[in-house]
Chain A
Amino acid sequence: MDASVRTPIIRVRHFTAGYDGKILLDDLSFDVYPGEVFVILGGSGSGKSTLLKHMIGLYRPLQGSILIEGEDIVSAEGPQRLKILTRIGVMYQQGALFGSMSLLENVRLPLEEYTDLPDDAIDRIALMKLQLVGLGQAAYKLPDEISGGMRKRAAIARAMALDPPILFLDEPSAGLDPITSAELDQLIISIAANLKITFVVVTHELPSIEAIADRVIMLDKQTKKIIAEGKPQELRDHSENSWVRQFFNREASVA
């Protein structure tokens, strides 16, 4: 599929972010297309998570716009903003499941708040989402009682509760062993392919990037701009920037 002929589902324009007069990300513009797995890359402290938190509306940028399905999450207020928020799902780094609720109740919560579905329907749907991520059996467990990898999968199930077309994942493989991490990658690939969901993923795990990414952008800590954009294989082999090649080939920088 050629990305350039499709309409982007997320359009970021002249995005500048920072605080206390300090600029963290300077004048970024990029597009995310429907159905792709879009990865935001960068070294530690390059502002990956900051960018993600702006894209899901937690922070306000200093300048620029972030259009999600054509609507600007930066300037949206009230019901309009709520509408955008129900069109995205977010998996936080540690899962951020509500500790006092079982996994099923965690997934039920958005459905209870935003739909008029009958109770047994909500139960069915919530269980279905948990089964999709392979946690059907653990539905009545509390987040404390399951492993870190399971928590992340449960968080994906909760993010998918309202069937949003876009899912944001913050460091899905952080703190997981390689096998669990690979399983999570498989889950992302399968959801993206079968349910046509667009993924925006922040990560710096190379194996994960190569497995899941359709396209990546790479943030640079020094210039605070995007230094590379494209398919991961192309960047690894043909990037003009030596730092980008180093990143993909996992070489230490020689100072």
Chain B
Amino acid sequence: MRSAETAQSVLQALPSSEDDLVFSINGPLDSHTAGEAWRTALRLLEETNPRRLIVDATRLTYCDGAGAALLLELRRRQSGRRATCEIRSLDPAYQALLDMYGRTDGQNPDPPAPAASLVEQIGRAALMLRNDIVTLIAFVGELCMALGRALRHPGLVRWKDALVTAELAGANALPIVALLGFLLGLIMAFQSAIPMRQFGADIYVANLIGLSMLRELGPLLTAIILAGRSGSAFAAELGTMKVSEELDALTTMGLEPVGFLVVPRVIAAVAMTPLLAVWAGFLGLIGGAVVMLSLGFPLVTYIIQVKSAVTVGDMVGGLSKSFVFGIVVAAIGCLRGLQTKSGASAVGDSTTRAVVSGLVLITLVDGVFAVIFYYLGI
């Protein structure tokens, strides 16, 4: 970079008669020096409003595209005001440059598309929502048919893919599920033990931990981790395949992406989620046990208390919930992947949408289950 001093002195206004403005250029006029020259020249042009502008290029040592742009701009402004602009003693090489850029000057850009009005935006958003719901229904139908086919002809399912996915989504998630489950149980037990102790009811912390971890929080925690770890991964994987036309390749081979890619993932998730939920519940109980032991209860008291509080119905309820969570999270992850558009940010968008939709659906399903369990009396 050149110093600011040279940058300022490249273009100078010389004294001249009333109607004229004379610029002299000393030195190089390139992208480093043209900035200052541009500001000075246009300011002086505005102030003096000359009939004739003379640019003396005798001492111009170098001129690049930025310099040419300045000279062309001066010429354009003068002709716009029906005044003249002369560029004197310009080196033929730079004249050629000016001619080359000047030739194409006429093509003006088509204006950018105007921003949509509020009404249009709302309309578009509503249409998109409708389309989204329609696609979701169609996808659920397609998935059910594909799963039905898989049940009737288990040989058609790609079990190898399902096993790999089961390892990624299930076995590899064991540490994080264990950590979060343990901490959740520990924190919950500790927080509730303090107030319950005041009433001498701290033995019931075992009931609280047992019921909530096995029936509600274990499955929920597992589903949320699944949405964050695997739902997003499915969306990114399928989205990348969509962008690189691999899905089109499958379709033209006569292999339906839903049967070929989605079914193994859903099967794997469905098989793994209940197991992970049991794991989370177990670790939550251990967390509770740590607190109970520190409160002075023997381990056996804690175990008996938990056993008396939790029924088989609670266990089955929790497992059936996590079964449905697994389907929902895997399916929505795959759907968002299949819906990926083109462009650099498309896969990222799909991943975000997969996690958000997964969390929304988990909450909805959980609510539906609460109602069902209430009526079934579980």
Query: Which A positions have Cβ atoms within 8 angstroms of B?
Result: 98-100, 102, 104, 111, 114-118, 121, 124-125, 127-132, 134, 136-141, 144, 160, 162-163, 190, 194-196
Residues of B within 8 A of A100 (CB): 344-345
B104 and A137 contact, CB distance less than 8 A: no
Task: Say if the beta carbon of B131 comes within 8 Å of chain A.
Answer: no
Residues of B within 8 A of A137 (CB): 107-110
Q: Tell me whether chain B's interface is mostly helix, strand or loop, or mixed.
A: helix
B108 and A117 contact, CB distance less than 8 A: no
Cα separation A224 to B109 with both chains bound (whole Å)? 47
Instruction: Render B336-351 as a binary contact track against A, CB cut-off 8 A, 1 for contact.
Output: 0000001111000000
Residue on A with the closest CB to B346?
A99
Residue on B with the closest CB to A144?
B343
A131: which of B38, B104, B344 is its contact (CB, 8 Å)? B104
A121: which of B35, B93, B97, B110 is its contact (CB, 8 Å)? B35
Residues of A within 8 A of B64 (CB): 163
B31 and A138 contact, CB distance less than 8 A: no
| B73 smallest CB distance to A (angstroms) | 6
Cα separation A117 to B39 with both chains bound (whole Å)? 8
B105 and A131 contact, CB distance less than 8 A: yes
Cα separation A139 to B109 with both chains bound (whole Å)? 6
A118 and B104 contact, CB distance less than 8 A: no
B97: which of A124, A139, A160, A195 is its contact (CB, 8 Å)? A195
Residues of A within 8 A of B36 (CB): 116
Residues of A within 8 A of B378 (CB): none
| A131 smallest CB distance to B (angstroms) | 4
Task: Say if the beta carbon of B324 comes within 8 Å of chain A.
Answer: no
B35 and A136 contact, CB distance less than 8 A: no
Cα separation A128 to B113 with both chains bound (whole Å)? 21
B66 and A115 contact, CB distance less than 8 A: yes
Residues of B within 8 A of A196 (CB): 93
Residues of A within 8 A of B344 (CB): 98-100
Known contacts A99-B345, A194-B96, A195-B97; decide if A125 and B107 are in contact (CB<8 Å): no
Residues of B within 8 A of A102 (CB): 112
Instruction: Render B79-98 as a binary contact track against A, CB cut-off 8 A, 1 for contact.
Output: 00000000000000100110
Task: Say if the beta carbon of B100 comes within 8 Å of chain A.
Answer: yes
B100: which of A117, A132, A144 is its contact (CB, 8 Å)? A132
Residues of A within 8 A of B166 (CB): none
Residues of A within 8 A of B38 (CB): 117-118, 121
Residue on B with the closest CB to A79?
B1
Task: Say if the beta carbon of B27 comes within 8 Å of chain A.
Answer: no
B31: which of A104, A124, A140, A162 is its contact (CB, 8 Å)? A162
Residue on A with the closest CB to B109?
A139
Task: Say if the beta carbon of B30 comes within 8 Å of chain A.
Answer: yes
Cα separation A222 to B100 with both chains bound (whole Å)? 44
Known contacts A115-B35, A117-B66; decide if A136 and B104 are in contact (CB<8 Å): yes
